[in-house]
Structure 1
Amino acid sequence: MTEVRAIEAPFVAGGPSGVAVRDRLKNLTAEDEQVLRLVGAHLGALASGDLKTRCADGLAHDHQTWAARKRELTALSSARWAGAITKASHDQWALARRCQAAHIADLQAAIATIRHRLSLPVGEKGTRKAPGGYRSAQEWHAKSRRLRVLTDRLRRERADQQAGIVHIVRGGKRLARTRHHLDAAGLTETEWLQKWQAARWFLAADGESGKRYGNETIRITPDGEVSIRLPTPLAHLANAPHGRYTLTTRVTFAHRGTEWRDRIEANRAVAYRIHLDPDRGRWYITASWQTPPAPTVPMSAALVHGVIAVDTNADHLAAWRLDVHGNPIGNPRHFPYDLTGNADYRDAQVRHALTRLLHWAQTCGVKAIAIEDLDFAAEKTREKHGRHKRFRQLISGMPTGKLRARLTAMADASGIAIIATDPAYTSKWGAQHWQAPLTSKKRATTRHDAAAVAIGRRALGHPIRRRTAPPPAHQSDEQGHRTAQARTGTRGREEPRPRIPGPRTRSAPPGYGQNAGDQNAQHRSERSAEHVQLMLSP
Structure 2
Amino acid sequence: MIWLGVGVVRVLAESIVVAGPAGVSVRTRLKHLTPGDEEVLRQVGAHLGSLASADLKQRCADGTAHSAESWAVHKRALTGKSSSRWAGSITKASHDQWGLARRGQHAHIQNLQAGIAMISQRLSLPIGAKGSKRAPGGYGSQREWFAKSRRLRVLQDRLDAQRADYEAGRVRAVRGGKGRARNRHHLSEAELTQEQWRQGWEAARWFLSADGESGKRFGNETIRVTPGGDVSIKLPAPLAHLANSPHGRYTLTGPVAFAHRGDEWADRVTSDRAVAYRITFDPERGRWYLTAAWTTPPVQTVPLAAAVAGGVVGVDTNADHLAAWRLDPHGNPVGEPRRFAYDLTGPATHRDAQVRHALTRLLHWAARHHLAIAVEDLDFTAETTREKHGRRKRFRHLIAGMPVAKLRARLVSMAAELGIPVVAVDPAYTSRWGARHWQKPLTTSRRTPTRHDAAAVAIGRRALGHRIRRRTAPPPHDRSDRAGHRTAQAGHGTPGCEETRPRTPGPRTRSAGPDPGRKRATRTPNTVRDVRSEQEWIQHPLLLTE
Alignment correspondent of 1:440: 444
- Relative distance call for 1:306 and 1:486 in structure 2 (3 A) is closer
| TM-superposed deviation, 1:210 | 0.7
Matched, 1:109 2:114: yes
- Aligned equivalents of 2:330 and 2:491: distance in 1? 15
- Aligned equivalents of 1:254 and 1:260: distance in 2? 10
Per-residue deviation, residues 205-228 of structure 1 (Å, max 9, x unmatched): 000101001100000001111000
Instruction: Give 1:95's match in structure 2, choosing from 82, 100, 116.
Output: 100
Per-residue deviation, residues 183-208 of structure 1 (Å, max 9, x unmatched): 11111111111110111000000001
| TM-superposed deviation, 1:119 | 2.0
Per-residue deviation, residues 257-292 of structure 1 (Å, max 9, x unmatched): 111111111111110000011121111111001111
Alignment correspondent of 2:464: 460
Per-residue deviation, residues 131-169 of structure 1 (Å, max 9, x unmatched): 322111111111111111111111111111111111111
Alignment correspondent of 1:329: 334
Tell me if the contact between 2:474 and 2:483 (Cα under 8 Å) persists in the aligned partners: no
Instruction: Give 2:385's match in structure 1, choosing from 381, 385, 389.
Output: 381
Unaligned runs of 5+ in 1: 489-538
Matched, 1:395 2:414: no
Alignment correspondent of 2:54: 49
- Relative distance call for 1:309 and 1:479 in structure 2 (3 A) is closer
Pairing of 1:288-437 with structure 2 (within 5 A): 288-366=293-371, 368-437=372-441
- Aligned equivalents of 2:161 and 2:143: distance in 1? 28
Secondary structure at the aligned position of 2:232 is classed as strand
Pairing of 1:144-293 with structure 2 (within 5 A): 144-293=149-298
- Relative distance call for 1:479 and 1:97 in structure 2 (3 A) is closer
- Aligned equivalents of 2:331 and 2:489: distance in 1? 13
- Aligned equivalents of 2:444 and 2:476: distance in 1? 29
Which of structures 1 and 2 has the bigger CA Rg? 2
Tell me if the contact between 2:331 and 2:489 (Cα under 8 Å) persists in the aligned partners: no
Per-residue deviation, residues 360-417 of structure 1 (Å, max 9, x unmatched): 1111222x10001111111121111111111110000101121111100100010000
| TM-superposed deviation, 1:341 | 1.2
Secondary structure at the aligned position of 2:80 is classed as helix
- Aligned equivalents of 2:464 and 2:408: distance in 1? 19
Secondary structure at the aligned position of 1:384 is classed as coil
Secondary structure at the aligned position of 1:385 is classed as coil
- Relative distance call for 1:477 and 1:434 in structure 2 (3 A) is closer
Q: If the length of structure 1 is used for normalisation, what is the TM-score?
A: 0.87
Letter in 2 for 1:460: L
Letter in 1 for 2:39: Q
Per-residue deviation, residues 324-380 of structure 1 (Å, max 9, x unmatched): 1111111111111011111111111101110111111111222x1000111111112
Secondary structure at the aligned position of 1:419 is classed as strand
| TM-superposed deviation, 1:420 | 0.4
Alignment correspondent of 2:500: none
Secondary structure at the aligned position of 1:72 is classed as helix
Matched, 1:29 2:34: yes
| TM-superposed deviation, 1:130 | 3.0
Tell me if the contact between 1:229 and 1:244 (Cα under 8 Å) persists in the aligned partners: yes
Per-residue deviation, residues 27-80 of structure 1 (Å, max 9, x unmatched): 111111111111111100000000011111112222222111111111110000
- Aligned equivalents of 1:474 and 1:391: distance in 2? 47
Alignment correspondent of 2:529: none
Alignment correspondent of 1:503: none
Between the two proteins, the alignment pairs up a number of residues equal to 487
- Relative distance call for 1:468 and 1:112 in structure 2 (3 A) is closer
Letter in 2 for 1:378: A
Matched, 1:19 2:24: yes
Tell me if the contact between 1:113 and 1:383 (Cα under 8 Å) persists in the aligned partners: yes
Alignment correspondent of 1:66: 71
| TM-superposed deviation, 1:473 | 7.1
Per-residue deviation, residues 170-195 of structure 1 (Å, max 9, x unmatched): 10111110111111111111111111
**What is the RMSD of the two structures over their aligned residues, measured on CA atoms?**
1.8
Per-residue deviation, residues 406-448 of structure 1 (Å, max 9, x unmatched): 1001000100000001111111111111112222222221111
Letter in 2 for 1:436: K
Instruction: Give 1:137's match in structure 2, choosing from 138, 142, 167.
Output: 142
Tell me if the contact between 1:468 and 1:484 (Cα under 8 Å) persists in the aligned partners: no
Letter in 2 for 1:352: H
- Aligned equivalents of 2:44 and 2:441: distance in 1? 65
- Aligned equivalents of 2:188 and 2:431: distance in 1? 43
- Aligned equivalents of 1:302 and 1:238: distance in 2? 55
- Aligned equivalents of 2:255 and 2:103: distance in 1? 39
Secondary structure at the aligned position of 1:378 is classed as helix
Unaligned runs of 5+ in 2: 1-5, 493-546
Alignment correspondent of 1:521: none
**What percentage of aligned pairs have identical amino acids?**
69
Structure 1 stretch 439-448 or stretch 336-345: which is displaced more?
A: 439-448
